[in-house]
Chain A
Amino acid sequence: MYNKRSKFLTFMVTAGMVFFYVPIILLIIYSFNYSKLVPVWGGWSTRWYDVLFQSEALWNAVSLSLRIAIVNATFATILGTLAGLAMVRFGRFRGRTLFGGMLVAPLVMPEVITGLSLLLLFITLKQLIGWPSERGFTTITIAHITFSLAYVAVIIQARLAGMGQTLEEAALDLGAKPFRVLIDITLPRLAPGMAAGWLLAFTLSLDDLVISRFVTGPGGNTLPILIYSRIKTGLKPDINALATIMILFVAACVAIAALIMFRQHKKTMQDELIANQS
């Protein structure tokens, strides 16, 4: 498309960015507010960060959330990559429609339904086989893997569809076995997509409140569950401080991921150019 933007479109894009970022920027500014009442400005201060770092309940929740997020991201990346490969590269197979449906549905399924259904599954399983004996880390992780893998599969499918099969076909023509092609060519080329998928699964897990609240048990307070119970009773200055740390952390992670993907993308383009020339 031609690079022309009418005044109206420029205005809408600018207004959209203001709409997106002003609430977040204000949240960050108010985390440095001395006043105990969030909207009343009482001068710059880092006192709420001090309050934050002294809370033991918070550190327990952070540790639980991080452990769940890491295990979830790892399993979701493995399962999501397998699912993406199956959908894009395997043509037709029995149950493909059902499989595709189950891969897309978690993306749009209302969280209350997913949460309730998983909880009822865990309770039924406990009655039948005695597992999971208590709800917490394991049940939350399983629930998170189930919806995260769908997001990973979307990223992998897009990447597989975008990267074409030229290199794979060249390797097969030169006599490489299909399994070797998968290990030596497809997976390394998928690596940036898998890294992006891992990060997305990681942040989705750190972020999830509703599903976690359904499938958690006593003592299983993740970070969002803790934050939620604190803000249910109103605005809290130390939550602003926590929000600032989380937002900046995620922004840094995403920026690094974008940089890695950009460099990888450039390298793959060069590889493809060479493959096409020869």
Chain B
Amino acid sequence: MSQSTANTSHIGSQGLLARLLRKMQSKWRTIVIVIPFIWLLLFFLAPFFIVGKISLAELKIASPPFTEMFDWKDGGFPKIRLVFDNYLYLWEDSLYFRTYLNSLKISIISTFICLLIGYPIAYGIVRSGPITKQLLLFAVILPFWTSFLLRVYAWMGLLADQGTINNLLIWIGLIDEPIRMLYNEFAVYVGIVYTYMPFMILPLYANMEKLDGTLNEAAADLGSKPTNTFFNVTLPLTMPGIIAGSLLVFIPATGEYVIPDLLGGGNVLMIGRLLFNEFSANTDWPLASAVAVVLLILLVLPMTIYQYYQGKATEAEA
């Protein structure tokens, strides 16, 4: 197509050629933008409005199991039925309130542990020799590619009463009876820290890699102690990495379903698991939708902050 347009444009003046080119360019530009745009509007944005709509419906024993928002029966203008009962129910039943709080608590503590462990690892990788650095980076990324489900499953084998850790401790003679490590909050923390650690290390690494080492040297030359330099120079400079990594752990961990289900075994209250049960075991879709809407509202602020930093990072690179 480009070839034929180019050939005909030779006949016209330079101005016409430029105009044609610009027009053609804007045409394929439009196509490039519009195709993924429409896909995301239809399959990512529109579904949220449907969730919002169904969260305002009532449970009905039918297929699908909820009432319609618009009542067409009377003819003429449809009556709009909005039911806020689901949200009231979430507010009144202390189970939901406790579950939201517990999810936030677990994901905040896990994020903090990830940061405490991940920060020195990322810093250590940045300070390695060029070949070691590439190998270590590869070693951090590799678990990210292997199945999340199987990595969680691996911990079931380690933490079980008859599992590897308990067997080892008994064999050494440190303990006589197995310590209960699976199906409680401890197991959930281990699972989240283990599976989300790469999400903390990689943004930190990307940030630290760009740090100017001469600043540390300057601080040292001016008599700053290493701890002092760390808190006054390195830490503030790596703040963008800390924020990006923490949000990448915190946001998905709050809605986590697989880890509390497999490692928590029903003893740990987390909102993702409650949502799934509301949806599948109780088939209460309107309530499940209301749970999802409230979770989304809780996470909108951290998500916006993440996007702001992500946008700034892309602009800085370009």
Listed in ascending order, the chain A residues whose CB lies under 8 Å from chain B are 1-5, 8-10, 12-13, 16-17, 19-21, 23-24, 26-27, 30, 37-40, 79-80, 82-83, 85-88, 90, 93, 95, 99-113, 116-118, 120-121, 123-124, 127, 142-143, 145-146, 149, 153, 157-158, 160-162, 177-180, 182, 200, 203, 206-207, 209-210, 213-214, 224, 227-228, 231-232, 235, 239-240, 243, 246-247, 250-251, 253-254, 258
What are 17 A-B contacts defined by CB distance under 8 Å? A3-B128, A12-B120, A16-B118, A23-B157, A26-B154, A39-B163, A82-B36, A103-B40, A109-B252, A112-B292, A127-B64, A146-B40, A177-B2, A178-B25, A179-B28, A209-B148, A246-B147
A210-B44 CB under 8 A given contacts A88-B314, A120-B54: no
* Interface residue? B255 (CB, 8 A): yes
Smallest CB separation, B12 vs chain A (Å)? 15
Q: Are B162 and A3 in contact, with the CB atoms below 8 A? A: no
Q: Are B47 and A123 in contact, with the CB atoms below 8 A? A: no
Q: Are B155 and A23 in contact, with the CB atoms below 8 A? A: yes
Q: Are A111 and B154 in contact, with the CB atoms below 8 A? A: no
Q: Assign chain B's interface to a size class.
A: 35 or more
Smallest CB separation, A111 vs chain B (Å)? 7
Distance between Cα atoms of A108 and B306 in the complex (Å) = 9
A207-B155 CB under 8 A given contacts A108-B251, A110-B252: no
Collect the chain B residues with CB atoms within 8 Å of residue A104's CB.
Answer: 306-307, 310-311
Collect the chain B residues with CB atoms within 8 Å of residue A13's CB.
Answer: 120-121, 124-125, 128, 136
Distance between Cα atoms of A204 and B306 in the complex (Å) = 21
A110-B150 CB under 8 A given contacts A116-B289, A117-B51: no
* Interface residue? B77 (CB, 8 A): no
* Interface residue? B240 (CB, 8 A): no
Name the one of A10, A149, A178, A247 contacting B147, with C-beta atoms under 8 angstroms.
A247
Q: Are A102 and B44 in contact, with the CB atoms below 8 A? A: yes
Q: Are B318 and A88 in contact, with the CB atoms below 8 A? A: yes
Collect the chain A residues with CB atoms within 8 Å of residue B124's CB.
Answer: 5, 9-10, 12-13
A161-B311 CB under 8 A given contacts A1-B211, A79-B36: no
Smallest CB separation, A247 vs chain B (Å)? 5
Listed in ascending order, the chain B residues whose CB lies under 8 Å from chain A are 1-2, 6, 21, 24-25, 28-29, 32-33, 35-37, 39-41, 43-48, 50-51, 54, 64, 117-118, 120-121, 123-129, 136, 138-143, 145-151, 153-158, 160, 162-164, 167, 194, 197, 208-209, 211, 213, 247-248, 251-252, 254-258, 261-262, 272, 275-276, 279, 285, 288-289, 292, 295-296, 299, 303, 306-307, 310-311, 314, 317-318
Name the one of A9, A10, A20, A117 contacting B139, with C-beta atoms under 8 angstroms.
A20
Q: Which of chain B's residues has its CB closest to A23's CB?
A: B154
Collect the chain A residues with CB atoms within 8 Å of residue B167's CB.
Answer: 39
Q: Are B252 and A111 in contact, with the CB atoms below 8 A? A: yes
Q: Are A9 and B258 in contact, with the CB atoms below 8 A? A: no
Q: Are A161 and B317 in contact, with the CB atoms below 8 A? A: yes
Collect the chain B residues with CB atoms within 8 Å of residue A3's CB.
Answer: 127-129
Collect the chain B residues with CB atoms within 8 Å of residue A180's CB.
Answer: 2
Q: Which of chain B's residues has its CB closest to A13's CB?
A: B124
Collect the chain A residues with CB atoms within 8 Å of residue B257's CB.
Answer: 111-112, 210
Collect the chain B residues with CB atoms within 8 Å of residue A209's CB.
Answer: 148-149, 258
Q: Are B43 and A118 in contact, with the CB atoms below 8 A? A: yes
Q: Are B64 and A123 in contact, with the CB atoms below 8 A? A: yes
Collect the chain A residues with CB atoms within 8 Å of residue B46's CB.
Answer: 121
Collect the chain B residues with CB atoms within 8 Å of residue A120's CB.
Answer: 47, 50-51, 54, 285, 289
A86-B54 CB under 8 A given contacts A24-B143, A24-B146, A207-B149: no
Name the one of B123, B142, B158, B162 contacting A23, with C-beta atoms under 8 angstroms.
B158
Q: Are B126 and A1 in contact, with the CB atoms below 8 A? A: yes
Q: Which of chain B's residues has its CB closest to A41's CB?
A: B167
Smallest CB separation, A213 vs chain B (Å)? 8
Q: Are A99 and B40 in contact, with the CB atoms below 8 A? A: yes
Smallest CB separation, B90 vs chain A (Å)? 15
Smallest CB separation, B58 vs chain A (Å)? 15
Collect the chain B residues with CB atoms within 8 Å of residue A20's CB.
Answer: 139-140, 143, 194, 197
